[in-house]
Amino acid sequence: MKVATVAIGSLVALTALALLSPQWLVFMAMLVLAKGVVVLGLLVLMRTGLVSFGQGLYFGIGAYAAALLSHHLHVADAAVMLLAGAAAAGLIAALLGLLLAGYRDIFFAMLSLAFSMILYGLLVKSAALGSTDGFNLHARTLFGVALAPGVERRVFLIAAAVCAVVVALLVHGLLGGHWGRLVTGVRDNELRVTYLGASPYRVVYVNYLIAGTIAGMGGALVALAVGHVDPETTYWTTSGEFVFIAILGGTQSILAPFIAATIFEALRTMASQYAPNVWQMSLGLAMLAIIMFLPAGLWSLAERRRRSV
């Protein structure tokens, strides 16, 4: 019941935002939703006890898949692009997951980083894919309905909100049930999970697949919002940013990634306006403060408050 309220409430709020707010806010909200979705995937992995420093791989695949459709096949439908982004990322995740699901800890983190850097290396050097400059894309329709140039972004935001809410509900349902228990079991003690008859490899594989697919969707959303893709989407600093947002929010709630992404984007916008030279420094200091004082993320503030009431 409560879940339904939150879901409908955020949909309504985001729709209102899409229709009423100025263009820059629409753009920012779109970025927040896209990054929130990617970080949601990281949350699923972190519940399994794994941190991927290579989610930029799927983020980039999603973005490029959407952009390639528009640029080379002249598909202009946003829904097709979103689906293609998620599907392309899911496909690669299904392949690489076979390998990565056997790794843990720092090796999982580093190997996923290596794969994202392989894609970065390919993109930077391939002239057909725009090299370091990337290329533009343009989506003109949604489900075949043509959109007027001014309202495109607003409609995309509503589509993004629907995507994000649906994905968040699915993940919430998945982690709230039997699967969620299994996932934390794998994090806490893998060997015992094996003895109980479940396969940690399978758990990690499926979670990796989920994380990759929704990161691809996030990438396609960003491509739609920005109208441009470049190799920076797959660089390790992009992946690091996602990990930062995940740590900022914490892993206790499905809402935490979205709230953390909102704070992150707001701070970034302010910093680039007023203090562009100390943006990374403030990011670093904030990260240290959170790791030291709020190891479970900002969400633990809300939890603490609830407990004291």
Site residues (CB under 8 A) for other proteins?
A: 51, 53, 99, 102-103, 105-107, 109-111, 113-115, 117-118, 120-122, 124-126, 189, 191-192, 236-237, 240, 243-244, 247, 277-281, 283-285, 287-288, 291-292, 295
| Closer residue to other proteins (CB): 16 or 285 | 285
Beta-strand relationship, 141-142 and 145-146 = antiparallel
Asked whether 235 and 124 are in contact (CB, 8 A), the reply is no
Q: What secondary structure does DSSP assign to 89-131, as a single string?
A: HHHHHHHHHHHHTT--HHHHHHHHHHHHHHHHHHHHH-GGGTG
CB atoms within 10 A of CB 71: 17
Minimal distance, residue 200 CB to other proteins, in Å: 13
Residue 17 sits at φ, ψ, to 5 deg, of -60, -45
| Shortest Å distance, C-beta 244 to other proteins | 8
Minimum distance from CB of 44 to other proteins (Å)?
Answer: 16
Are 86 and 105 contacting, i.e. CB atoms less than 8 angstroms apart? no
Question: Toward other proteins, which CB reaches closer, 53 or 208?
Answer: 53
Kindly state the smallest distance separating residue 83's Cβ from other proteins, in Å: 28
Q: Which is nearer to other proteins, 117 or 186 (CB)?
A: 117
Residue 228 pairs in a beta bridge with 136
Between 69 and 283, whose beta carbon lies closer to other proteins? Answer: 283
- Rounded to a whole number of angstroms, the minimum distance from the CB of residue 181 to other proteins is 20
Comparison of 58 and 120: residue with beta carbon closer to other proteins = 120
Residue 220 token pair: 């396609």
- The distance of closest approach from Cβ of residue 302 to other proteins in the complex, given in angstroms and rounded to an integer, is 22
54: helix, coil or strand? coil
Which is it for the CA torsion 101, 102, 104, 106, positive or negative? Answer: negative
Q: Specify the residue for token string 């490029």.
A: 64
Instruction: Provide the minimum distance between the beta carbon of 114 and other proteins in the complex, in angstroms, as a whole number.
Output: 5
Comparing CB distances to other proteins, the nearer of 23 and 280 is: 280
Question: What per-residue string of b and e applies to 237-276 under the rule 16 or more CB within 10 Å gives b?
Answer: ebbbbbbbbbbbbbbebbbbbbbbbbbbbeebeebeeeee
> What are the φ and ψ backbone dihedral angles of 294, each rounded to 5 degrees?
-130, 65
By C-beta, is 121 or 177 nearer to other proteins? 121
